[in-house]
Each structure stands twice: as C-alpha cells, then as structure tokens.
Structure 1
C-alpha cells in the first residue's frame, strides 16, 4: 500500500476524509434498493483506470464497472479535461437552445446506431430514456399497451419499473401502467423445454406471437427488450431471436424498442449489442434505441433515445409532448463526445471484443469444467455472467431468484478479500470490467474469481 493516491493526496488524509464522509452518509444519505439500517456501504476515496481505493486504503480491481457503466474506466484524462473545458465555456443552458457539445454528441451517436436512427433525444439517464421511448411509441401508434420480457430491467421510475420483468417491480406494480410480460429465451433455464438454441429461439418467438394475439395486436404500442439482458443475467439471445422480434413488430405495426442502456457503447464488444443480431438482408434495426451508462461512462448523468426516421416524422409538425430541464446538458454531452472519441481513438470496442473472446470466455469455460458451483457461463465482450449453483444436475441456484444467501455472501466476501470489487446479483457473479481493461488486469481479476469460487464450491452437493 503506497502513501499517496493517484491524484496526489496523502493516503492517510484521504482515509480520514473518507471516515468523515461515512459518518455523514449514515446520518443523512438515503440509499436506493436498501433497508437503511441494514447496510454498511463501502467508502470509495479514489479511483483510476480499472481500480478504486476503499475507505481503508485498499486498492481493488473494479470488475463491476460500478453500475456496469464506467466503460472507459475511472478518471480517463481526456474526459476529465473535456468536462473542465466545457465548464469554462458554458456550464449549463436550457434545452431549447443549440449548444455545440449536444450537437456533436448527437452526431457521434447517430453515426454508430444501426439503420436510420439518426435523431437523438437526450435524457438524464436510462430510466427516463425508457419512459420517453414508450411515450414516443404510444403517441406514434395511438396505442397504449407495452410488452416486455420477464427477467429484464428497464429502470426505477414508475413506468420503467413496471416494464421491468424481475422482482424489483413487485412493490410498485399495481397493474396500472398497461404493461404485459412474456417469457424470453434463456436456454439454461428454458421456459420452453428446449434442448438447442434453435428450439429456444423458435419456441420463444411462437410464445411471443401468441402473447401478441391474446393481448390484442391493435392495443400494443411497443415491445421493449434489452438487446442483451444485463442485470437479470446477461442472457445472450440465441441466433434469430431479435430478427424474429423485428419481424413480429413489423407484422403487427408495433414499435420495437431496443434497450441498450447497459449493453451499448462497447460493453458487448460492439458499439451496440443489437449488432450481434443480423439477417440475410442486413442488421436488425429497432424503431427506437435507448442508451445511457456507457455513452459517457457515467462521468456526468446522461441518457437518450435514438429515433428512426418514421417515428421522428410523427413529430415533424406535431409537438412532442415531453421534455426535461437538463436534456442535452453541456457537461454531460461534452463528456459523451470525449468518451466516444476516446473509445474510437484507443480501440476500446475492439479491445472489449478481443478480451472477451481470447481471455474471458475461455477462462470461464475452464471454471465451468473445474468448479462444481459453476453451472453456466455466458456473455459477449466484457459482459459475462457466471451462474452459481448448488447442484449442476438439478441446476438449483446458489441463491434464490430475487434474493441472496450465506453462500453467495461468503463468495462475494472472498472476492473482495482477494482484491476485487465484484458485480453480484442473486446467484450470479458478473464479469464486467471496463472496455479498456488490459489483458493483465483481466487475468488478474479472473484469478481472484477462480480462488473465490472454491468458497462457492464448498456449498455444493
């Protein structure tokens, strides 16, 4: 442990400041998704690249990318400089006015989105991007109902949490948001008794079409789904599934919304995860695409909706009924411009794909063969999940759906003790380092996971 932090501060001074921050946090800060009296949040006193320093001064390899959003790592100098430069010019301006950073950010995003998604509406994060995408779909179609899959996450606002398909919606879901859910493909825990990816895709699409017909096609404004579901398990859709959803949406006049809040901007080894889905005619193109997180690595809150030409035309002469005070905030969009340019100049998307294929995937396959607790591994780029089980034959999870367990808590504790900051959810450990993680850092993190899995193994049958 060194005596100074990367920013030049004395370690002891930073630890003391962190202790004071913890006292104030416990006295005044109300934490999300938490029983307030039952948490002991970790203090972070510094960050740089793929690492953070906790309140005790320990250096931890950040394999969570925080909320899977620091895609270019911590304190990237080009983005830090861009924020400071923008702050010296214009800190904030109302959204009705043109500003240089917003215009350039929109151009850079439109260059990278598939198809004709050439208009960008900026929001403050992913949840309100989802809210506005659904509003656009409803106004465009004149319909109200939205279909979304189980095992999904779309945000914490009232509509977005109801659209969400996991347990976090339960406390807020009173059936009042015109949302219906369907089963998506997930071969490891198939709802369709499938034995192959081809069967899983076909049967999931048949189930979705039945749902559309039974819910009433003329009542459905949109189908929203994550290009690769993230927090619910990084379940990569089987070949043909997203193309099939596109066909169903076209057939029934339903808007297809691809949620790329977590999977976009290099996370899955491409600029957008939906690029993994192709057809003989070309790429799968949604009508609306939501983004946030990786668009500027979370340095300043930002999200948005990329809009097709057809939907944009709906609002050519009819006002769009929505907006936000901070839409296209100059500091946030300046950070996005710097982030996207840095990712392109430094080959971060390509690096994510290479690290995933050459290091993460083969190593996780080794873990699956070696550790009795590893039931399944899956992912793309730097977006992988390790599914932990008590029994490989029955696939009983190491923690229940929607909860945790002493076994998972011990495993997470072993990861942190080994020097890794993990992303854990239910019975899974997600392998989600920054897109510019080095090969050495990737191997370091995977070695820590390998050792911690021995703890999980002790809880198998």
Structure 2
C-alpha cells in the first residue's frame, strides 16, 4: 500500500500521485527513497531560506528538546523571549512586540483582528493578485483565483489594483507612471468606501506566489502616507518575503517605510518547525495594555519553533545571508534569467528581487496571452505540465503556479548549484517554446 494515499493533500485533486517520496536533505538538495538527489530551486514553498538540515538550526532544536519541548503561552519562556528579541532587532522601526502564531495565515488572521478591535471599523482593503492564506479571513483577502471557490463576499473585504507595469490596469508605460496611478486609484477606493469604515489595508510588500511583483520605488511609502492620513492600520504581509528573501531583512526596508503590523512566518526559522507571528507597533500595542487581547493559540511561541528561529536568525547574521541573497539576485539569478528570456520565445517577462524571481510564460509576447489560461487543468494545462515534467526528469524541484515559474532557491545556495538550476530551466523551456507563437 502506498502510504501517501492515506494523506488528504491540499490544493490538488485527491487520488494516486506520481511524485517522489523524500526522506533526507542537505543544503540545497533533497533525496528520495531511491537515493535520487533533487536540487530544490523553490525552497519548498519558499520557506527553506537556509536550505535543508542547516546545522545551526538542527542543533538549536535538539538542545531545546533536551530542556523543554512545549509550554503554554501564558507562561514566560526564555527561548520565546530570545526569539522575540532577535526578530524585533531586525524589524522595521517601531515594531517592538511579537505575537507568535504557528503559520502565516494565522498571523494575517490575528493582524486583521487586532486592527478591527483597535479601530472599531469593519472593512479591510487588499490587492488583487495577492495571496494571504487559506483560513476564512485570509482567503477572502486573497486577490487571485485561489479565493474563488471559498469567497462568500461577506468578510468585509474590498479589493483594489496594485502596481504591475507588465499588465498595468492603468495603461502605464513606466514604473513612475504606474506608481502614481496606482496610488491615485487606491486613494479613490478609500474615499469611495469611506475612510471611517476601513480598519486596515493588507499588502504584500512584494507580491509572492501571485506573480512576484516588485512595487515601484515610492509605492509603499505612498501606501503608508494614505493609511496615516485616513487612520487606517497598515498591515504588511511579509510571510513569504521576510527574513532575507528579497535581499533585505524585510521587503518594506527597500522603500524605507514601516507598517503598523507585520505578518511573518516561513523564513523566520526556514520552516524547520511551524512558526509565524505578528510584529506589533505601539499604536496597536497600546490598545491592549489596559484590556486583554481576546484571542490566542495553544501553541503560540512553541519552544522548539522559537529555538529554530534563534538558530536561523543567528546563523543569518553570522553567515551574511541577507547580503548573499541580494548578490544572488543581482549577480546570478537576474542576469541568468534575462538570458533565458532572450533565448526562449515562451518567456514573456522576467521579474524579481533578491532570491525571489518569476518567469511569466506566454503564447505571444506581443499580446501577452498567458501560456495557459487561469485555473487550467488537464489538456489545457499541457504546456506547463510538460515543463514541470522536464524539470523533474532533470532532478529539479520548481514552483509552478498558473503560467509562471517561480525561482526561489535557498538564500545560501552556492553558485554552482544556482548555475545548474538555470541550466535545467534552459532545457525545460524548450518544452514550453513548442506552444509559443
């Protein structure tokens, strides 16, 4: 019996799957039951920022397991406090407290709850082309097709268009135009919805799995100004892009701004033990100094998860991981992917920052028609299926969503492995080229 058949798998139709079973990992590689090595060019779901089996994280977990494996959140914990200190030390200015969760989607849920309770307002703004999680509030906030099957239209969420020069909703020709027009549009949405009804604006600082869209310079500062002007809580979703992924500790750092709340997870401890959280600024913290925050989680700040965070963040400081991620983008991934785009007609756009990039595949570069339609399955998804098969045949793990190939290796991948990954993508793109005009 295939034990994998006993598992109910998220995001896919249930039934037999043709996927390898992994049993070991090291650095940028994982190994299946047959001893076959695969290069992890996606950091799993963009969370293994320090790769697999990093010794500092593994040892931190082992040492904590020998002392205390679990503790209710109502008790004080030395390792929980140390994790919070390390996180606050690298956080944007003014975010001085941490609510720990076990995932990014929980972090978003609690950030929104904090905003609504502290403002007394019901509505929350979120962008199209976004992903914020799969629980009730977070899936309603999500602005891509993953929301559709669960959307009741009753969660108090209003969506708006963020900047995206390649597929501009505003007819912009330059990033500067796109920034200005996107901010004008956002202000109109705020005014027409009624600022006094809006508790929060939730925004991925760099759009992650919905397209790897890097906002133009000044956009995040403009969002910060609009939120301040109208008394709206600015929630930065850095679940995917925080802790070095973009070549800065947090993606808001690139625009020199700070939100009121910041949701994180994934890279905080490379996903070795589930951990997420909300960085809380003084405005929100002050609302709950005299009255209790009416929510919590059984495993908030689990000692093993916090130990993993201490090990990971300490290693990132000592190993210069954030600078390495910035170099990876400017010296290797960016130029390498640009060469692939010049060579392969199916590549319509390359965009990214640090160690987070995407190739958007199209049938026609002039019309920008996606290589596969939204929500494609079966024969309609044949071009992307052929591409994924070609990658796996060459022992490369990629993250493919819709018509996009996301490139997000561990931040500490060595140059040789990065070059191997790009070479495999080069070969696999010949499959998608067969479907391009």
- TM bucket normalised to smaller: over 0.9
Q: Look up the match of 1:422.
A: 398
Asked if residue 125 in structure 1 is aligned to residue 103 in structure 2, the reply is yes
Q: Secondary structure at the match of 2:228?
A: helix
Q: Secondary structure at the match of 1:336?
A: helix
Asked if residue 363 in structure 1 is aligned to residue 336 in structure 2, the reply is yes
State the TM-score, normalized to the length of structure 2. Answer: 0.98
Q: 1:445 aligns with which of 412, 415, 421?
A: 421
Question: How far apart are 1:369 and its partner, in Å?
Answer: 1.3
Asked if residue 455 in structure 1 is aligned to residue 434 in structure 2, the reply is no
After superposition, the C-alpha distances for 1:365-387 in whole angstroms (9 at most, x for unaligned) are: 11121111111001111100111
State the TM-score, normalized to the length of structure 1. Answer: 0.93
Question: How far apart are 1:38 and its partner, in Å?
Answer: 6.0
Asked if residue 66 in structure 1 is aligned to residue 66 in structure 2, the reply is no
Q: How does 1:60-209 map to 2 (within 5 A)?
A: 60-209=38-187
Question: How far apart are 1:311 and its partner, in Å?
Answer: 1.1
Asked if residue 350 in structure 1 is aligned to residue 323 in structure 2, the reply is yes
Q: d(CA) in 1 for partners of 2:19 and 2:138?
A: 26
- The unaligned stretches of length 5 or more in structure 2 are none
Q: Look up the match of 2:409.
A: 433
Q: Look up the match of 1:14.
A: none
Q: Look up the match of 1:24.
A: 3
Q: Look up the match of 2:300.
A: 327
Asked if residue 381 in structure 1 is aligned to residue 354 in structure 2, the reply is yes
Q: Secondary structure at the match of 2:15?
A: helix
Q: Provide the aligned length of Structure 1 versus Structure 2.
A: 434
Q: Secondary structure at the match of 2:223?
A: helix
Q: d(CA) in 1 for partners of 2:355 and 2:313?
A: 17
> Does structure 2 retain, via aligned residues, the 8 Å contact 1:146–1:178?
yes
Q: d(CA) in 2 for partners of 1:87 and 1:54?
A: 27
Q: d(CA) in 1 for partners of 2:416 and 2:375?
A: 34
Q: Secondary structure at the match of 1:46?
A: strand
Q: d(CA) in 1 for partners of 2:17 and 2:130?
A: 25
Q: Look up the match of 1:280.
A: none
Q: d(CA) in 1 for partners of 2:52 and 2:10?
A: 22
Q: d(CA) in 1 for partners of 2:413 and 2:3?
A: 33
After superposition, the C-alpha distances for 1:131-156 in whole angstroms (9 at most, x for unaligned) are: 00000101111101000000100011
Q: d(CA) in 2 for partners of 1:158 and 1:40?
A: 31
Question: How far apart are 1:121 and its partner, in Å?
Answer: 0.4
Q: 1:227 aligns with which of 205, 226, 229?
A: 205
Question: How far apart are 1:343 and its partner, in Å?
Answer: 0.9
Question: How far apart are 1:454 and its partner, in Å?
Answer: 1.2
